């Protein structure tokens, strides 16, 4: 048995019970669900901001290629 397998087994023995207890609490589950819900919105808006500032701005990437 390798070092990584024994490390994984030890972490599973310690972290899985703690994660199960945390997941069973309503307020922690609500925060988790909020992050899961807002993550795609944050990623999409970040991509739009990147396109707006880096590509479409007057001194951005495309303007540098054209001048």
Residue 2 reports pLDDT greater than 70: yes
5 exposed, middle or buried (CB, 10 Å; 0-12, 13-18, 19+)?
exposed
| pLDDT tens, residue by residue, 9-60 | 999 999 999 989 988 899 998 999 999 999 999 999 999 988 887 777 777 6
Residue 64 reports pLDDT greater than 90: no
Q: What is the pLDDT of residue 4?
A: 93
């Amino acid at each position: 048995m390798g070092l990584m397998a024994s490390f994984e087994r030890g972490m599973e023995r310690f972290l899985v019970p703690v994660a199960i207890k945390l997941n069973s609490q309503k307020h922690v589950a609500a925060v988790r669900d909020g992050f899961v819900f807002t993550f795609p919105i944050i990623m999409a808006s970040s991509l739009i901001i990147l396109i707006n500032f880096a590509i479409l701005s007057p001194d951005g990437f495309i303007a540098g290629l054209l001048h």
